[in-house]
Amino acid sequence: MTSLSVNINKVATLRNARGGNVPNLLKVTEDLQRFGAQGITIHPRPDQRHIRYEDAYALPDVVTTEFNIEGNPIPEFVEMVLQIKPDQVTLVPDGNDVLTSNAGWDTVKNQAFLTPIIKAFQEAGIGTSIFVDPIIGMVEGALDTGTDRIELYTESFASGYESDPDKAIAPYVAAAIRANEIGLGINAGHDLSLDNIAFFAKNIPGLLEVSIGHALICESLYLGFENVIPMYLQRLSH
């Protein structure tokens, strides 16, 4: 069975938009796990526009499932991860100015950069994953860095799913088959949702974990409105 890790960046975005501590990130984390989440993912960025570094240091006190920290391995990020020692670190090649992750690593060109970082994390007892596009050469390049897993960047699958799901998933199936052949674990994430997750999970052999944030938070908002609006109306009726 594939594990579900919930990315809580959007919870922090909502909190930061108003100031204060609503929603309470730590309480949300506890509740998500109580409701069944099998992991918690965060992606702190240098500008700390959603998850702050102080959040990353506080979360181990409440994460009882798998703790996964994503990010670009700049020195500050590497230092933070080595201090926190999460269960898993996922390396993402984000520029400082991007709104969201938008590409996987070129694992061939960046092998010399990634390999010692992967080794340092593994020596600290941290599982490692590298964000990659569904390209066979990039999967094979990931193996040469020494990483434990890859995370397939699923934006192109999600964008093509509605018009032609079989065509959209084909490169992911090929990448997953190759990852299985060479002994890499497989994670996936980005734009997966209730609409497409079942098809994706059914067709990707050896899928260990998905990380879902934006869609899950949006879906939770929509599905919650039907409950919350009547609760307000009931309180206003007296």
Q: Which residue numbers are catalytic?
A: 43, 70, 190
Which distant-in-sequence residues (6+ apart) come within 8 Å of 213 by Cβ?
Answer: 6, 7, 8, 9, 10, 41
The answer to whether 215 and 194 are in contact (CB under 8 A) is yes
Which distant-in-sequence residues (6+ apart) come within 8 Å of 96 by Cβ?
Answer: 45, 46, 47
Q: Which residues of 55-89 are buried (b: 16+ CB within 10 A; e: fewer)?
A: bbeebeebbebbbbbbbbbeeebbebbeebebbbb
**Rounded to an integer, what distance in angstroms lies between the CA atom of residue 26 and that of residue 40?**
11
Q: Is 234 helix (H, G, I), strand (E, B) or coil?
A: helix
Cα Rg for the chain, rounded, in angstroms? 18
Closest CA to 132 of 80, 175, 75: 175
The answer to whether 104 and 138 are in contact (CB under 8 A) is yes
The residue type of 8 is I
**Rounded to an integer, what distance in angstroms lies between the CA atom of residue 219 and that of residue 238?**
31
